[in-house]
Amino acid sequence: MRFLLEQAEALFAYTRQLRRDIHRHPELGFQEHRTAGIVARELQNLGLEVTTGVGRTGVVGILEGKYEGPTALLRFDMDALPIQEETGAEYASAQPGVMHACGHDGHTAIGLTVARILSQQRERLHGRVKFVFQPAEEGLGGAQAMLEDGVLENPHPDFSLALHLWNEKPVGWVAVVPGPFMAGSDIVEITLRGKGGHGALPHQTRDPIVAAAQLVLALQTIISRNISPLEVAVLSVTQIHGGEAHNVIPESVHLRGTLRTFTQPIRDLVLSRVTRITEELARAMECEGEVKVTDLTPPVINDEAMAKWVAQIARDVIPEVNVDTTYRTMVSEDMALMMAQVPGCYFMIGSANPERGLVYGHHHPRFDFDERALIYGVALMSAVTLARLEAQ
């Protein structure tokens, strides 16, 4: 399988050119028309059966092998973020206020290169590969939209694979973790209603801003006092909106935040405490409190046997990499929705390079990655897919 690393290196110029072109022309979730066009064109040129408009702007390409066998689903996300780029790179975004600040441009380029490599291996494939290029991963429901459009049908996949370039770690690091890997995500929205009035006459009001200030602090005790130190959860209040004038106490205040958990019991406990603390504290402050929860995505849970197998392939194909089998992150991923129905493995490829200043985290306006990571992503995704389908 090491020949796949050589092929990934030989195709690096192609992968990099695709990545930089997509980076220059970023598109937000469900607006990836140009990117989807590139994907469809490249897959059609390889002779794949291509379907567009899956999940609004998603693309699916099916590569048929020579022999009968299982179906592999390989998923790559395409969307950018509403961020003004500050990298100064020669391939920087030409779209004001939009940039690829998470590496999805790299994922798309990796996916197309993998398709190019595996299309040359048709004679060795027992089964088929379903390439899924997903829109709107960044919290807009792209995976759910593709599921509703039947992405797991005709044919239904037997296993799934996905990857993410990861700037929290340097090039040469790969994370392949059995079991829970990425956290589930919920949006928590809280409304506090009081009685507005003149800012100079607070005794005539029931101030929801003071209640909100108390509530933000009280919510922090859930993690520190209700969750065992041996368990993991994150609850962050990220937005507070209330009031329009400096001398008016408003009628209501709205808070918004995110909850990240790995298990259903911990999620249930945190949400129960959020609701009770909100209602009781609001009552104590002579206000009313209401909590609304939106379930975005469950945790990413890797099939244990498959993750161990992928880790071994990574060591065999790319001997110089450091394979980490214990890393976990509270970042979420809607690939979890597909993996809940199709067992799979989601892995990460280190992409930072401190010597070149490529150290900014995901969703930062100066985010960029060492493009050598593309080679490792292509080689490992190709090797795992070929090994699984060749062995049938």
Q: Are 194 and 211 in contact (CB under 8 A)?
A: yes
Catalytic residue among 27, 42, 79, 334: 79
Polymer length of the chain: 392
Q: Across the strands, what pairs with 235? A: 259
Q: Are 131 and 72 in contact (CB under 8 A)?
A: no
Q: H or E stretch including 18?
A: helix 12-24
| Residue with the two structure tokens 């022999």 | 67
Q: Are 75 and 54 in contact (CB under 8 A)?
A: no
Q: Are 197 and 205 in contact (CB under 8 A)?
A: yes
DSSP E strands in 196-247: the ranges are 197-198, 233-241
DSSP E strands in the chain: the ranges are 49-54, 58-64, 67-77, 126-134, 159-170, 173-175, 179-182, 184-193, 197-198, 233-241, 248-249, 252-261, 288-297, 300-302, 322-324, 344-352
164 is in an annotated binding site: yes
Catalytic residue among 42, 105, 137, 186: 137
Residues 168-186, buried b or exposed e (16+ Cβ, 10 A)? bbbbbbbbbbbebbbbbbb
156 is in an annotated binding site: no
203 is in an annotated binding site: no
Distances in Å between the Cα of 355 and the Cα atoms of 91, 170, 358, 369 are 20, 10, 8, 12
Is 79 an annotated catalytic residue?
yes
Is 137 an annotated catalytic residue?
yes
Closest of 121, 138, 140, 137 to residue 129, by C-alpha:
121
Q: Are 133 and 37 in contact (CB under 8 A)?
A: no
33 is in an annotated binding site: no
| Residue with the two structure tokens 């990857």 | 163
**Which positions are annotated as active-site residues?**
79, 137
Binding site as annotated, residues: 102, 104, 138, 164, 363
Binding site as annotated, residues for Mn(2+): 102, 104, 138, 164, 363
